[in-house]
Amino acid sequence: MISICYITSRLDPKVQWFLDSLDMLTNDADKSEIEIIFIDRLAKGTERQRDFFEVVGKRFRYSHVTPKPCVWQGDDRLTAEDWFAASNARNTGLIMAQGETIAFVDDLSVLTGQWWKALKESTGSTRVTCGAYRKVKELRVDNGNIIHSYLYAGGADNRWQYGNDNGPVPCEGNWLYGCSFSCPTQYLIDVNGFDEACDGMGFEDCIMGIRLANRGVQFQYDRRLLTYESEEDHHLDKIMRRTDKGVSPHDKSHAILDKARTTDRAENFHLGPEGIAGLRKIYAESNLIPFPEGPTHDWFDGQLIAEMI
């Protein structure tokens, strides 16, 4: 089985684009191999649940959940408002995933013609497969087909020139971008999931890549695992708060980068003594993910998370 995690916090994440394009690229046998996990900050409302159900229909096996409890966002947050917490959302998908292979896809995206073929081929690889992206303007999609878009100067994938249209090429771990990638699920469990020290800031994808590389995992970049992503729709919702404290190079992002370079596992102490692996066991037995034991303070400077505004 392949678990595809789709993470969003947007009022209109264009989930129809993703589903219609995946539907178009897969046959019935393919669909039987797929579970989709929608990790959606707005999933609690019955209207939202109904909207997703109507779009998915009976095409795919799926779950639609809010991110697991954390101190940065949701009903149990310590902060006054929801902050950016991509690691927490990604780890929610990892905890729930039943597939031997896990893939992540950004919202506001449509899958292109060879995406599923490339993903299926990646299931036979021991490498992490880094997908490609194009951020475009005036993106129009009909039944999963891109009928109009144009690539603007800032939307190009800076790895594109090193790739190959015929298949994957070897690459470095820091080429891992969250837009679209796949790997054996066990790889992410072995490093104790995405580093939730990145929540409130970001940068979680390349930190994961560096840690996996430190464990000896190899990487490949596959231009066929390509998504087109709407640039205009990125700016329609209120942007969730995030901050990189300090002054470069003595800032929070450099500090987490320094930690990642010398470690092959995220600390994530607040997830319990067994970390992500333990939470996967609890979820499998109870269908619940418990509230974490903290953190209460920002690891970078000790500030109370409840005071971060």
Q: Which of 225, 228, 247 is nearest to 300 (CA)?
A: 247
Average pLDDT, the chain: 95
pLDDT on residue 188: 98
Q: Are 64 and 52 in contact (CB under 8 A)?
A: yes
Name the band, by pLDDT with cuts 50, 70 and 90, for residue 158: very high
**pLDDT 10s digits, 79-114:** 999 999 999 999 999 999 999 999 999 999 999 999
Q: What is the pLDDT of residues 292-302, one digit of tens each?
A: 988 999 999 99
User: Residue 30 pLDDT > 80, yes or no?
Assistant: yes
CATH superfamily for domain 2-295:
Spore Coat Polysaccharide Biosynthesis Protein SpsA; Chain A (3.90.550.10)
Whole-angstrom distance, CA of residue 282 vs CA of residue 280: 5
% pLDDT > 70, the chain: 100
Using one digit for the tens of pLDDT, what is the confidence trace for 230-276?
A: 999 988 888 889 999 999 999 999 999 999 999 999 999 999 999 99
Return the pLDDT at 63: 96
Mean pLDDT of all residues in 214-228: 97
The pLDDT value given to residue 178: 83
A 10 A CB-CB count for 237 gives: 13
